[in-house]
Structure 1
Amino acid sequence: MSMLSPTATSRDPMELDRLAEELVTRESGRSRASLGDGEHDLPAYVPLTHDNPYLSVEAFNVEDFLLSRAYTSLPDLRSELRDYLATLKEELVKLINDDYEAFISLSTDLRGEGARLERLKWPLGDLRGQVLESRAELQSIQDAIQHKLQKRTELREEKTFLHLLLKISESVTRLESLLLISAPSDEDQGQTEIHGMALNRTEEERAEERTRANRAKHLSRVAAEYTQLLYHVSKAQTERCAFVDECQWRIDRIKSTLSSDLDHLFSSTVLSLTQGRDIARSADTTELDKAKVLNDVADCLRTYDMLGLWQDAEEVLRTDVVRSFVKKTIYPGCLAAPQSPVLPHTPFPPARTSSTTGGAPPRTPYTPFTAFASKQNPFEASFDTQPHILDDTDDPLAALYNTILRFVDRDMKRIMELADKVGVRSSSRVNMGKVALLGPSAAVLKDAPGGFEIMANVVWSEIGKAIMDELGSTVFAVGKPDEFRKHYETTQAFIRSLEYLAPSVEAVSIMRSHPVYIAFERRWQLPVYFQMRWKETVTKLEDSLIVTKLERSSNKVYAPFVTSQAAAVWAAISSIWSAQVFVPELSHRFWRLTLQLISRYRSWLDSSMPALEPVSRMPPSSSMTSSTGSPSLNRAATPTNQQVEAASPESVAADDALLVQLATVLTDIKAMESQVWKLWREELSAMLPDLSEANSATDASVSLEDTLRHSLSSLISLIPPISGQIIAILSRRGYDTLLPMRSIPSQFRAMTASRRLPTEPSHFVSLIFRALKVFFGIGAADAPGANLKDEFLHSYAEEVFENVAQRYIYFLTAMKKTEESLRRLKKGKRSAFSLFGSSSTNADDGRADEEKIRTQMILDVNAFGKDAESLGVAVDENSTYRALKELANAPLTED
Structure 2
Amino acid sequence: MADLMAPPRSPTDLFGDPIDSHPLWFKPSSFLRNDFDSESYISDLRTFVPLNNLRSELQSHLSSLKHELIELINRDYADFVNLSTKLVDVDGAIIRMRAPLTELREKIESFRATVENSLVALQNGLKQRAEASATREVLELLLDTSHVVSKVEKLIKELPTVPADWSNADSSNVERGNLTNGTLQQTETGTSIRETQSMLLERISSEMNRLKFYFAHAQNLPFVENMGKRIQSATLLLDASLRHCFVDGLEHRDANAIYNCLRAYAAIDNTKSAEEIFGTTVVAPLVQNVIPNGPSVGVVAASGDDLGKDYQQIMQIIEKDCRFLLEIASAENSGLHVFDFLANSILKEVLSAIQKGKPGVFSPGRPAEFLKNYKASLVFLAYLEGYCPTRTAVAKFRAEPVYVEFMKQWNVGVYFSLRFQEIAAALDSALTGGLVPIQNSDSDLENSKDLTLKQSDALLESLRSCWREDVFILSCSDKFFRLSLQLLSRYSNWLSSGLAARKSGSTSPQPGSEWAISAVPDDFVYVIYDINKLAKEISGDYLGHVLEILASCPSEVLESVKQSILQCGEWLKDLLPLVINNIVGTLVEKSVEDLRQLKGITATYRMTNKPLPVRHSPYVSGVLRPLKAFLEGERAAIYLTGETRSELLLRAATEITGCYNELASDLVNLARKTESSLQRIRQGAQKRAGASSDVSEQNVSDTDKICMQLFLDIQEYGRNLAAVGVEAAKIPAYCSLWQCVAPPDRHDVIKF
Displacement, 1:330?
A: 1.3
Within the candidate set 335, 352, 361, 1:475 is matched to 361
CA distance in 1, matches of 2:744, 2:334: 102
CA distance in 1, matches of 2:413, 2:567: 28
The amino acid of 2:356's aligned partner reads D
CA distance in 2, matches of 1:87, 1:576: 108
CA distance in 1, matches of 2:729, 2:455: 44
Residues 574 and 257 of structure 1, relative CA distance in 2, 3 Å threshold: same
Deviations 1:644-678 (A, max 9, x none): xxxxxxxxxxx999333443555556666666777
Counterpart for residue 286 of structure 1: none
CA distance in 2, matches of 1:866, 1:667: 26
Counterpart for residue 104 of structure 1: 85
Map 1:486-501 onto structure 2 (within 5 A): 486-500=368-382, 501=384
CA distance in 2, matches of 1:792, 1:468: 62
CA distance in 2, matches of 1:135, 1:816: 141
Equivalent position SS for 1:210: coil
The amino acid of 1:455's aligned partner reads L
The amino acid of 1:495's aligned partner reads S
8 Å Cα contact 2:205-2:267 kept in structure 1: yes
Displacement, 1:47?
A: 2.0
Asked whether 1:331 is paired with 2:289, we answer no
Within the candidate set 630, 633, 637, 1:775 is matched to 630
Residues 865 and 471 of structure 1, relative CA distance in 2, 3 Å threshold: same
Higher relative contact order (CA 8 A, sep 6+): 1
Deviations 1:674-717 (A, max 9, x none): 667779735678689999999xxxxxxxx976996899799779
Deviations 1:104-125 (A, max 9, x none): 33145546975x6898899889
Residues 470 and 577 of structure 1, relative CA distance in 2, 3 Å threshold: same
Counterpart for residue 23 of structure 2: none
Asked whether 1:505 is paired with 2:357, we answer no
Asked whether 1:526 is paired with 2:411, we answer no
8 Å Cα contact 2:197-2:245 kept in structure 1: yes
Residues 464 and 891 of structure 1, relative CA distance in 2, 3 Å threshold: same
CA distance in 1, matches of 2:80, 2:500: 133
8 Å Cα contact 1:738-1:765 kept in structure 2: no
Equivalent position SS for 1:521: coil
Asked whether 1:517 is paired with 2:406, we answer yes
The amino acid of 1:263's aligned partner reads R
Deviations 1:170-217 (A, max 9, x none): 5455555655538xxxxxxxxxxx958998997344896623795488
8 Å Cα contact 1:314-1:454 kept in structure 2: yes
Map 1:644-723 onto structure 2 (within 5 A): 658-664=520-526, 666-667=528-529, 681=543, 719=579, 721-723=581-583
The amino acid of 2:361's aligned partner reads V
CA distance in 1, matches of 2:162, 2:193: 24
CA distance in 1, matches of 2:99, 2:462: 129
The amino acid of 2:270's aligned partner reads L
Residues 660 and 394 of structure 1, relative CA distance in 2, 3 Å threshold: farther
Deviations 1:344-366 (A, max 9, x none): xxxxxxxxxxxxxxxxxxxxxxx
CA distance in 1, matches of 2:122, 2:7: 78
8 Å Cα contact 2:436-2:453 kept in structure 1: yes
Displacement, 1:314?
A: 0.6
Map 1:785-864 onto structure 2 (within 5 A): 786-789=638-641, 792-803=644-655
Give the structure with the larger helix fraction. Answer: 2
Equivalent position SS for 1:331: coil
Counterpart for residue 181 of structure 1: 158
Residues 230 and 866 of structure 1, relative CA distance in 2, 3 Å threshold: farther
Deviations 1:561-602 (A, max 9, x none): 444565556656655765555666597599569848975996
CA distance in 2, matches of 1:667, 1:321: 65
Structure 2's unaligned 5+ residue stretches are 11-17, 21-25, 32-37, 176-185, 444-448, 506-516, 558-562, 600-609, 672-695, 699-710
8 Å Cα contact 2:535-2:573 kept in structure 1: no
CA distance in 1, matches of 2:434, 2:166: 97
Asked whether 1:211 is paired with 2:206, we answer no
8 Å Cα contact 2:456-2:530 kept in structure 1: yes
Query: TM-score by structure 1 length?
Result: 0.52
Residues 230 and 461 of structure 1, relative CA distance in 2, 3 Å threshold: same
Displacement, 1:56?
A: 6.5
Counterpart for residue 283 of structure 1: none
Map 1:138-157 onto structure 2 (within 5 A): 139=117, 143=121, 147=125
Map 1:323-362 onto structure 2 (within 5 A): 323-331=284-292
Asked whether 1:322 is paired with 2:283, we answer yes
Residues 177 and 867 of structure 1, relative CA distance in 2, 3 Å threshold: same
Counterpart for residue 641 of structure 1: none
Map 1:564-575 onto structure 2 (within 5 A): 564=454, 567=457
Residues 505 and 556 of structure 1, relative CA distance in 2, 3 Å threshold: farther
Residues 419 and 241 of structure 1, relative CA distance in 2, 3 Å threshold: same
Counterpart for residue 725 of structure 2: 868
Map 1:8-407 onto structure 2 (within 5 A): 43-44=4-5, 46-49=7-10, 52=20, 58=31, 89=70, 91-93=72-74, 95-108=76-89, 110=91, 131=110, 135=114, 139=117, 143=121, 147=125, 167-168=144-145, 171-172=148-149, 175=152, 181=158, 195=161, 203=169, 204=171, 205=174, 210-211=191-192, 214-215=195-196, 218-219=199-200, 222=203, 225-226=206-207, 229-230=210-211, 233-234=214-215, 237=218, 240=221, 242=223, 244-245=224-225, 248-249=228-229, 251-273=231-253, 293=255, 297-331=258-292, 396-407=306-317
CA distance in 1, matches of 2:665, 2:111: 146
Displacement, 1:521?
A: 3.3
The amino acid of 1:556's aligned partner reads S
CA distance in 2, matches of 1:657, 1:232: 89
Residues 179 and 784 of structure 1, relative CA distance in 2, 3 Å threshold: same
CA distance in 1, matches of 2:372, 2:640: 44
CA distance in 2, matches of 1:129, 1:806: 129
State the aligned residue count. Answer: 639
Displacement, 1:536?
A: 9.6
8 Å Cα contact 1:765-1:864 kept in structure 2: no
Residues 797 and 315 of structure 1, relative CA distance in 2, 3 Å threshold: same
Displacement, 1:415?
A: 3.8
Query: TM-score by structure 2 length?
Result: 0.60
CA distance in 2, matches of 1:672, 1:107: 130
Map 1:614-625 onto structure 2 (within 5 A): none
8 Å Cα contact 1:512-1:518 kept in structure 2: no
Residues 881 and 44 of structure 1, relative CA distance in 2, 3 Å threshold: same
Residues 864 and 202 of structure 1, relative CA distance in 2, 3 Å threshold: closer
Displacement, 1:459?
A: 2.1
CA distance in 2, matches of 1:791, 1:169: 101
Residues 259 and 107 of structure 1, relative CA distance in 2, 3 Å threshold: same
Counterpart for residue 555 of structure 1: 440
Equivalent position SS for 2:646: helix
Equivalent position SS for 1:556: coil
Counterpart for residue 357 of structure 1: none
CA distance in 1, matches of 2:596, 2:263: 99
Structure 1's unaligned 5+ residue stretches are 1-39, 71-76, 183-193, 279-292, 339-391, 430-450, 615-654, 695-702, 740-745, 752-763, 819-831, 835-853
Instruction: Give the fraction of aligned pairs with identical amino acids, expressed as a percent.
Output: 16
CA distance in 1, matches of 2:731, 2:75: 127
Residues 411 and 120 of structure 1, relative CA distance in 2, 3 Å threshold: closer
Counterpart for residue 675 of structure 2: none
8 Å Cα contact 1:175-1:222 kept in structure 2: no
The amino acid of 1:663's aligned partner reads V
CA distance in 1, matches of 2:158, 2:720: 120
